[in-house]
């Protein structure tokens, strides 16, 4: 009789990217690279390519909730990532669902507060920011804002690694969750991120890859952390794994048309990224 292995499950709640480089598509590819079974709840549809977002339409909130319930009823995830929700109603649906779930069972919840596309287009309706800040971030295990998103949350965009450090501490104080401030857009020779959870602070640095402009790095980074958590790693280890993964994915980017896409590096995830592997 064949013995079949059991895979951990991760859930992504995010927008669908028709260009395949970000959102749900990037998350599911990342989960697969880690040997994690990916499930999804699509919060909105985008008409999108690496150049920009052409249109966005929100999923009806009742349908979004039923997607999440369907996953939890039969495929309860070991970790959840929340990306682009877009509408105020969908933020409320997701926050209300996890407010009760997290009381009963503490599931690692990674919130990537997608507020604007790389092209600069707003992807978060104004009133939804208040729900994000007041209801969803306090439920998170980790939030992963980039510099622009930090600016929207705090009213000031960090301009240096020291300002990123201070911002991470202020965000932890305000919302009570661990914070990973992504500094990829700083004009430094290295790509520097700052992690702080109230006790442990990490500066995560990697050399920049010249000549490559990628799309979906934030989605892939947070999905990698989620997948590592689903595999049984602790938060600090998962953040380190996520940084190594996204650095390698950028370095192994490939061309699609006139653009670049993040590489998957030919991982054998069950060996390379299992819990406590130290790699």
Distances (CA, A) of 183 to 38, 112, 133, 159, 237: 27, 14, 21, 9, 19
- Give me the catalytic one of 216, 226, 237, 247: 216
What gap in Å lies between CA 121 and CA 128, rounded to an integer?
16
What gap in Å lies between CA 124 and CA 262, rounded to an integer?
24
- Give me the catalytic one of 217, 220, 237, 247: 217
Burial of 24 (0-12, 13-18, 19+ CB in 10 A): buried
What gap in Å lies between CA 35 and CA 268, rounded to an integer?
8
Residue 46 known to be catalytic: no
Q: Cα 157 from chain centroid?
A: 20
- Give me the catalytic one of 182, 220, 231, 237: 182
- Give me the catalytic one of 20, 23, 38, 218: 218
Tokens coding 206? 């990697």
Residue 59 known to be catalytic: no
Residue 62 known to be catalytic: no
Residue 29 known to be catalytic: no
Q: What is the DSSP letter of 155?
A: S
Pairing mode of beta strands 79-82, 9-17: parallel
Catalytic residues: 182, 214, 216-219
């Amino acid at each position: 009789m064949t013995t079949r292995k059991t895979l951990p499950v991760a859930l992504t709640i995010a927008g669908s990217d028709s260009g395949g480089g970000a959102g749900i598509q990037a998350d599911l590819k990342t989960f697969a690279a880690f040997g994690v079974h990916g499930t999804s709840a699509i919060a909105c549809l985008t008409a999108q390519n690496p150049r920009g977002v052409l249109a966005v339409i929100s999923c009806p909130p009742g349908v979004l909730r039923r997607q999440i319930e369907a996953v939890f009823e039969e495929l309860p995830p070991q970790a959840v990532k929340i990306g682009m929700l877009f509408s105020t109603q969908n933020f409320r649906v997701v926050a209300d669902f996890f407010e009760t779930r997290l009381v009963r069972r503490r599931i690692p919840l990674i919130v990537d507060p997608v507020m604007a596309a790389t092209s600069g287009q707003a992807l978060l309706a104004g009133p939804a920011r208040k729900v994000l800040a007041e209801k969803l971030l306090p439920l998170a295990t980790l939030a992963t804002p980039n510099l622009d998103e930090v600016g929207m949350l705090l009213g000031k965009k960090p301009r240096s690694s020291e300002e990123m450090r201070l911002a991470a501490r202020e965000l932890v104080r305000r919302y009570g969750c661990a914070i990973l401030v992504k500094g990829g857009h700083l004009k430094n020779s290295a790509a520097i991120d700052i992690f702080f959870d109230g006790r442990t602070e990490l500066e995560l640095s990697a050399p920049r890859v010249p000549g490559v402009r990628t799309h979906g790095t934030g989605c892939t980074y947070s999905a990698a952390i989620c997948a590592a958590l689903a595999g049984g790693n602790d938060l600090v280890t998962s953040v380190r794994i996520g940084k190594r993964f996204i650095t390698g994915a950028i370095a192994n980017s490939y061309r699609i048309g006139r653009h670049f896409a993040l590489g998957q590096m030919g991982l054998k995830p069950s060996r390379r990224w299992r819990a406590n592997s130290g790699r």
